[in-house]
């Protein structure tokens, strides 16, 4: 960490702190996640700037389902490794740039681009909702960023307003962050767990069977668009918004409505209706969204296909070349970060936190994906009989 000088602490979570730092050579600002080595953590969450300063989604004290990260990583393990490896392979103007990962005697440090403009969620909270033109402006950027991820064979699986940052410029550039739940079709199996945030998950994710993560991302983009336009989540019961069971049931039934007092063009309504389709094979695809008349209206030049194609580059071996650190080096760093060096354990409480048996367990290869809170809630609803799987029509 010698190359960076601390500026100030800008957030904290269950597992560590977020720190704004400055590159001593370039003088550029970066955001750094500092995760204590060997410590069990409940959630990583994305790094974002809000009215509360830099914070973490799913941090302690938040009970709002819209604000909570419903997944958890029990240790510095597969979720951390997946976030780093998938994120490092992406280089696009609408994706927060991964810079590097550093191992210190006490922490795993994930260095990334600093987004000074805050998260899109806070902007909507401040404004109530966006005009159709403003919503389209951000939706166009979101779709281009997600489309690039899909081209690179990565599905995000946790797209939501809290995972979308702004760069702080007068005409804000949208930046997708947090790849802790992402899946690579090259590195990982097809997803089947109900990770993410309940308000955004697609019907097929509720089935707990294998699903196409890219099509599930399309659904989540649709939820994001709806919230920007309406100022409310499409499948939450407005009289009981924290009732996750009701949210899941309404998703399964495709039960949503646009209030009469909110004017949305017919083209936009038609696009939303094509996104909120229960059968993912009948849902509009990313390619079709990018050719939809509503999407193409006032499309900035930098988001046109002609310009976007310049970002879809790979080296001759088909592997991304956007990070100086190799996958093997990152894997080694993450593996070493799972345990605190013996000489550094005193004073950190690790002796009380992890037994020798648990340490041996940490050193073994972790399970790729364990049941998280969202997965647990979906399972409970299914087992209760309250969710009619036949109604999913998938």
How would you classify the pairing of strands 154-155 and 183-184? antiparallel
Q: Which of 55, 77, 122, 158 is catalytic?
A: 158
pLDDT at 314: 52
pLDDT the model gives residue 58 = 36
Is the model's pLDDT at 150 over the cut of 90?
Answer: yes
pLDDT given for residue 316 in this prediction: 40
Q: 208 is written with which tokens?
A: 């707990």
Query: pLDDT by residue (tens digit) across 176-194?
Result: 988 877 877 654 445 555 5
Task: Give tens-digit pLDDT for 352-387.
Answer: 344 455 445 544 444 445 555 566 666 666 556 666
Give residue 372's pLDDT: 58
Higher pLDDT, 132 or 319: 132
Q: Which residues are annotated as a binding site?
A: 33
- Average pLDDT of the chain to the nearest whole number: 79
Contact yes or no for 114/20 (Cβ under 8 A) = yes
- Checking if the pLDDT of 57 tops 50, the result is no
Asked if 231 contacts 128 with a C-beta cutoff of 8 angstroms, the reply is: yes
pLDDT tens track for 10-41? 766 555 688 899 999 999 999 998 988 875 54
Most confident of the following: 19-33, 46-60, 62-76, 358-372: 19-33
Domains, in order of start, for the chain: 4-115+316-363 (3.30.200.20), 120-314 (1.10.510.10)
Two structure tokens written together for 125? 């909270």
Which residues are documented as binding site for ATP?
A: 33
Q: Is the pLDDT of residue 171 over 80?
A: yes
| pLDDT for 54 | 34
pLDDT given for residue 40 in this prediction: 53
The predicted pLDDT at position 36 comes to 84
DSSP 392: G
pLDDT reading at 107 higher than 70? yes
| C-alpha closest to that of 368 among 181, 214, 243 | 181
Residue 388 has pLDDT above 80, yes or no: no
Q: What is the 3-state composition of the chain as percent helix, strand, coil, each rounded to the nearest 5? A: 40, 15, 45
pLDDT per position as a tens digit, 89-99:
899 999 999 99
Give residue 327's pLDDT.
81
pLDDT recorded at residue 346: 40
Overall average pLDDT of the 318-325 stretch: 62
**pLDDT at residue 18, rounded to an integer:** 80
| pLDDT tens readout for residues 258-307 | 999 999 999 999 999 999 999 999 999 999 999 999 999 999 999 999 99
3-state secondary structure 204-267: HHHCCCCCCHHHHHHHHHHHHHHHHHHCCCCCCCCCCCCCHHHHHHHHHCCCCCCCCCCCCCHH
Exposed, middle or buried by CB within 10 Å (0-12, 13-18, 19+), for 323?
A: buried
Active site residue 158: yes
**CA angle 297-303-305, nearest 5°?**
95
């Amino acid at each position: 960490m010698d190359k960076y000088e601390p500026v100030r602490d800008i957030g904290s979570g269950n597992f560590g702190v977020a720190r704004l730092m400055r590159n001593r050579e370039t003088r550029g600002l970066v955001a750094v996640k500092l995760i204590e080595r060997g410590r069990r953590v409940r959630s990583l969450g994305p790094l974002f700037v809000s009215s509360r300063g830099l914070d973490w989604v799913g941090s302690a004290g938040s009970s709002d389902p819209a604000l909570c990260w419903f997944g958890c990583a029990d240790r510095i393990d597969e979720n951390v490794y997946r976030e780093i490896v998938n994120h490092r392979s992406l280089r696009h103007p609408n994706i927060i740039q991964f810079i590097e990962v550093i191992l210190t005697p006490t922490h795993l440090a994930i260095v990334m681009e600093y987004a000074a403009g805050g998260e899109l969620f806070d902007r909507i909270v401040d404004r109530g909702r966006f005009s159709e033109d403003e919503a389209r402006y951000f939706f166009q950027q979101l779709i281009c960023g997600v489309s690039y991820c899909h081209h690179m064979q990565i599905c995000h699986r946790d797209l939501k307003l809290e995972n979308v940052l702004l760069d702080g410029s007068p005409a804000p550039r949208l930046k997708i962050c947090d790849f802790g739940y992402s899946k690579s079709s090259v590195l990982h199996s097809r997803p089947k767990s109900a990770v993410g945030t309940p308000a955004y998950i697609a019907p097929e994710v509720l089935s707990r069977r294998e699903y196409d993560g890219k099509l599930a991302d399309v659904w989540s983009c649709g939820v994001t668009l709806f919230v920007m336009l309406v100022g409310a989540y499409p499948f939450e019961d407005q009289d009981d918004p924290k009732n996750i069971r009701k949210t899941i049931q309404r998703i399964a039934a495709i039960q949503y409505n646009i209030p009469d007092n909110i004017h949305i063009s017919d083209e936009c309504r038609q696009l939303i209706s094509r996104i909120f389709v229960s059968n993912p094979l009948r849902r509009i695809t990313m390619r079709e969204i990018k050719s939809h008349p509503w999407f193409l209206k006032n499309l900035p030049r930098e988001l046109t296909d002609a310009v976007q194609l310049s970002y879809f580059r790979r080296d001759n071996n088909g592997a991304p070349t956007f990070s100086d650190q190799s996958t093997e080096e990152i894997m080694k760093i993450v593996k070493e970060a799972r345990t605190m060096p013996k000489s550094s354990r005193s004073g950190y409480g690790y002796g009380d936190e992890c037994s020798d048996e648990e340490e041996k367990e940490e050193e073994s290869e972790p399970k790729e994906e364990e049941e998280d809170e969202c997965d647990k809630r979906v399972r409970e609803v299914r087992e209760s009989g309250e969710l009619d799987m036949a109604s999913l029509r998938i």
